[in-house]
Amino acid sequence: MQSMNLTPDIENGIFSEKMLDAVNTDGPVPEDAALKAYYYLQKDIEMAADLKSRLGRTPTACVITFGCQMNARDSEKLSGVLRRAGFEMTEDEKADFLIYNTCTVRDNADQRVFGRLGRAGHYKKSNPGMKIALCGCMMQESSNVEKIQKSYPFVDLIFGTHNLYCFSEYLYRIYMQDEKIADIWDKSPQIMEAMPSDRKYPYRSGVNIMLGCDKFCTYCIVPYVRGREKSRDPEEILCEVRALAADGVKEIMLLGQNVNSYGKDLGNGVTFAGLIAKVAETEGIERVRFMTPHPRDFGDDLIEVIRSHPKIARHIHLPMQSGSTAVLKKMNRQYTKEGFLELAYKIRKELPDCSVTTDIIVGFPGETKEDVDDTIDVIKKVGFENAFTFIYSRRRGTPAASMPSVMTEEEIGREFDRVLKTVQETAKMKAELLTGSTMEALAEEMNAQDPSLVTCRLSNNMIVHVPGDRSLIGNIIRVRLCECHGFYFFGEIAEE
């Protein structure tokens, strides 16, 4: 087994059932990381079958995700391993195996995990055979790991962001060797995507194109928990996209902490603009999105590629964080208010059908009411279609954590409300301009509140609810936007 050559599927980051079937679990554990993952997944299948026999039923598993789209994509891989091993997936946290895939961008994310973990401890008292695991960004902070080991000793498995592909091994060891495992790596030796995936939506999928971030914004913990930028091989990405298209996927979301830095570490001349163009040209793929770019690296080449490829979604999420040049400097964002406005105006001019959304932090250390005035000025001038607004969350280990604030919590709350009100007003105004137009939308799911409606997403990322049934889901349809409700529409299917 150790001398077996990697198949093209493994080399190209695609999970291979053929390779899994070829694994000999009676032989030695392979040294190669990809083959080792397959070896332990086959062992997991044997383990889950034995567990099913002892329980008298199929063992259940629950994966709870906190945080960004990259975490959501990682959770699909965790679910993929569990389902392929033989677990029945459930949303019930009383499952036989429970894993929290954590986020640590803001403090409230940490607190939510600790709250859920305390409740999970009570579930385990009722089911002593239950296994509880934590992974993700929060686990890359040693203080969190120490707290969990001390205050939540019932946790069986802890691992971080750099060794997700070891999950099949950890799963086997906590069950068959009755180990408690805490394995945190400080960097990723390789990017390995050849894991089974349990996609939430059969018609769309995220694709990781790079990991980590080199920007080191002073408020952000991501470079410390996700590591430095590391790009995947472009051909590996395209092979994964082609395999997804063959499996019925119509929409691809290219994922990375800073996607427009893609390729800089590869030294082969491939840029993000070049990569997304190739993805958009893939047969079977009808829409391509990306998340998240950095304003500093958003070049004219990317604007031109978006303009030239109708399959690339007309939506750019462009995180501003602040409209104040003074605050942006303290944040180490490496652009000014004027620079951001110049880029936004260029996007509006060159891509007039493209929506622009953003992220905004209120209450950054040293920020004044006048700085917030600058942020509101940018919101009005750009006219964002939507914005995610946050009150600054102090993250230990980041440079901003030691910076003093000049506004009180009450003042920050008032300024936050002022920013949010401006975003809502401008977003509604932008949306209302589309009323009466006919556009293409991807039918995503049945409406949770009204089963007679199908929830669809436009290329510009806005939501429209139209009358229809489940047969529409996964198809791109033409819809008329009839009634604007601020951030979403009610509409109808347009006649051909």
pLDDT tens for 353-373 read 999 999 999 999 999 999 999
Q: How far is CA 118 from CA 75, 115, 147, 370, in A?
A: 21, 5, 12, 42
pLDDT tens digits for 7-27? 444 445 678 888 898 888 998
pLDDT per residue as tens digits for the range 286-344: 999 999 999 999 999 999 999 999 999 999 999 999 999 999 999 999 999 999 999 99
Q: What does the pLDDT read at residue 4?
A: 35
- What is the SS3 string spanning the chain? CCCCCCCHHHHCCCCCHHHHHCCCCCCCCCCCHHHHHHHHHHHHHHHHHHHHHHHCCCCEEEEEECCCHHHHHHHHHHHHHHHHHCCEECCCCCCCEEEEEECCCCHHHHHHHHHHHHHHHHHHHHCCCCEEEEEEHHHHCHHHHHHHHHHCCCCCEEECCCCHHHHHHHHHHHHHCCCCEEECCCCCCCCCCCCCCCCCCCCEEEEECEECCCCCCCCCCHHHHHCCCEECCHHHHHHHHHHHHHCCCCEEEEECCCHHHCCCCCCCCCCHHHHHHHHHCCCCCCEEEEECCCHHHCCHHHHHHHHHCCCECCEEECCCECCCHHHHHHHCCCCCHHHHHHHHHHHHHHCCCCEEEEEEEECCCCCCHHHHHHHHHHHHHHCCCEEEEEECCCCCCCHHHHCCCCCCHHHHHHHHHHHHHHHHHHHHHHHHCCCCCEEEEEEEEECCCCCCEEEEEECCCCEEEEECCHHHCCCEEEEEEEEECCCEEEEEECCC
Q: Mean of the pLDDT values across residues 83-104? A: 96
Average pLDDT for residues 383-403, to the nearest whole number? 94
pLDDT of amino acid 245: 96
Share above pLDDT 70 across residues of the chain, in percent, rounded to a whole number: 97
Fold of 8-183: Rossmann fold (3.40.50)
**Hey, do 201-307 and 314-433 end up sharing a CATH topology, with the first three levels equal?**
yes
- Quick: pLDDT tens for 422-447: 999 999 999 999 999 999 999 999 99
Residue 213: pLDDT band by 50, 70, 90 thresholds?
very high
pLDDT > 80? residue 1:
no
- Map out the domains of the chain as residue ranges: 8-183, 201-307, 314-433, 438-493
- CATH fold, domain 201-307, is Transcription Regulator spoIIAA (3.30.750)
Per-residue pLDDT, 5: 40
User: d(Cα 493, Cα 479) in Å, to the nearest integer?
Assistant: 4
What pLDDT is stored for residue 12 in this prediction?
A: 52
| pLDDT at position 383 over 60 | yes
**182 token code pair:** 């805490």
Q: How far is CA 134 from CA 88, 101, 142, in A?
A: 19, 6, 13
Residue 13 pLDDT = 65
Q: What average pLDDT does the segment 281-290 reach?
A: 97
User: Mean of the pLDDT values across residues 222-233?
Assistant: 91
The verdict on domain 314-433 having CATH code 3.40.50.620 is no
Class of domain 438-493: mainly beta
Given this model, what pLDDT does residue 9 score?
47
For residue 294, what pLDDT is reported?
Answer: 96
| 423 vs 190, higher pLDDT | 423
28-42, 80-94, 122-136, 409-423: range with lowest mean pLDDT: 28-42
Decide: residue 231, CB within 10 A, 0-12 exposed, 13-18 middle, 19+ buried: buried
**So what's the pLDDT on residue 7?**
44
Residue recorded with tokens 């491939």: 270
Specify the pLDDT at position 219: 95
Model pLDDT, residue 496: 66
- Entry pTM: 0.90
